[in-house]
Amino acid sequence: MSNICNFWRGLALFVILVCSIVASPVNDATKRNGKPSPSPANTTVAAWITQPIDHFGANNGTWRQQYMVNDKYYKPGGPIYILTPGESEVSAMYTEDTHFVSLASETNGLMVAIEHRFFGNSNPMPDLSGASLKYLTLENTLEDFARFIRTVKTNSSSLFQKAVPANSKIVFVGGSYGGALAAWMRAMYPDLVTAAWASSAPVFTYIDFYHLDQALGRHLTARGCGELFARGVKELDAILLSNNSSGLDSVRKMFSVTGSTAQDVAAGITSAITGTVNLPVMLNGDALDQSVCSFFENSVPPLTAYSKAVSAAVKGYAMPQAIRPYRNMAVYRRDIAAKSQGDLSLNQPFRSWYYICCKWFSDWQVAPPKDSNITAYRSQLVDREYWQGGCQSSFGSSVHPLTDATEHNRRWLGMLKDVANIYYTVGELDPWRDTTVATVDGTLLRNTASSPIFVMNGATHTQDMQPDTAYDLNSVRMAKQMGDSLIKKWIA
């Protein structure tokens, strides 16, 4: 059951910004002392802060949360930019290789990246059982960050090498899930967080999230193969629904997947699609014509073309080097070297995110309702019940009841209503756009001067988070300029 909501949101939700990122090295002195230790070869240093397992009293134990600091541009009076990688391990990329490094250099800012509880090296409990993961709540997660900020304001010398005034302005920034956390930090802790930059932030959740595949379908149609791709999916379902064992065997062989039931086989194919075929949607230039549509010629049966496209994607054809998120290769090499040394997420990198899917977000990726007349770009066999089936078997009563999307949206989207000093951005082509405040059909929050919403034409997921390059789309460049101006205004 690893190939469900957690697989896509954990692996591809951050594909532009954080796909394949890893934790940076932490030397033994840092681990012993907690305070950042100098590192002459690196701009970023890593350290740890002690946190309660449960800020609200159910468990009085403590754990150590990893954070990283880049004070290269900092001067007293400058703001502190705090990022979190969300469901990925913390990395020097966040403090050295994002757009906010440019903003920090212009504003004498301090760059900080904080790891999310139960991800990377920041493990409050010795295992990821349901009993342990019950402490993985949004409230605890946000309070971790708030407690860090309070320490900045009361005892900064325990966190940083350079002196930081108690009245320093805090700007929380992030992309994708990290962007949602940034917005919620500004809403919940306006006394601590001066401003937030929320890029492609999924602040609205669905139980059945068929919208992601509709984004893929729009791309496929624009590239000329949307109808044939959908026909391939329909032909696949016809075989799987026939209850014919020989037909099921032929599908297993054609797609190189395993599974004892038709649903398991469909889920295997779906996972391949979700994890790889969808990735080109996240790219400038849209590589779908090469990685998908090139297989759909009129003379090739749609199901055959569909299987070839999936097979090619699995082999990495849909993952050109252009999507690698790093611009600074020194950071890239350092992070890759560190990954082999760490025990990240207790060697279960998707389990914590699966728990979040079961308990917080859902967003189960399914085909549209059969009676909706909406074109399907994935098998109808893999429905919400299939994905949810592993929640209680994996985590027990800690996830009972499962996600209540209506209540979640009432609280967490409702919290953002009329909150000032949040800058929302999203790409026009972002597959996750319908989970943000700027959906395909409109906005879920008012677009105001105090908290504007910027839709980047032609852009995809979290592109304004990336380092500045000459290849930035005009819309991305405009989004960055607008955001920089707003942040400078809000911290003035």
Q: How confident is the model at residue 120 (pLDDT cuts 50, 70, 90)?
A: very high
Buried b (16+ CB within 10 A) or exposed e, 480-489: beebbebbee
- Dump pLDDT digits (tens) for 347-380: 998 899 999 999 999 999 999 998 899 999 999 9
Q: Decide yes or no: CATH 3.40.50.720 for domain 5-206+408-491.
A: no
Q: Are 128 and 345 in contact (CB under 8 A)?
A: yes
| pTM metric for this prediction | 0.88
Q: What is the pLDDT of residue 332?
A: 62
Q: What is the pLDDT of residue 9?
A: 36
Length of the chain: 492
Q: Which two tokens stand for residue 428?
A: 């026009």
Instruction: Using the predicted structure, report yes or no on whether residue 323 has a pLDDT greater than 50.
Output: no
Instruction: Using the predicted structure, report yes or no on whether residue 5 has a pLDDT greater than 60.
Output: no
Instruction: Using the predicted structure, report yes or no on whether residue 314 has a pLDDT greater than 90.
Output: no
Q: What is the pLDDT of residue 329?
A: 63
Q: How confident is the model at residue 311 (pLDDT cuts 50, 70, 90)?
A: confident
Q: Which two tokens stand for residue 404?
A: 């209540």
* Mean pLDDT in residue range 251-257: 91
- Dump pLDDT digits (tens) for 345-356: 999 988 999 999
Instruction: Select the more confidently predicted residue: 231 or 286.
Output: 231
CA distance to 124, 144, 149, per residue, from 52 (Å): 8, 8, 15
Task: Map out the domains of the chain as residue ranges.
Answer: 5-206+408-491, 218-328+370-398
β-bridge mates for residue 113, sequence order:
68, 83
Please state, rounded to an integer, the average pLDDT across all residues of the chain.
85
Instruction: Using the predicted structure, report yes or no on whether residue 36 has a pLDDT greater than 60.
Output: no
Q: Are 117 and 140 in contact (CB under 8 A)?
A: yes
| Burial degree of 443 (CB within 10 A; 0-12, 13-18, 19+) | middle
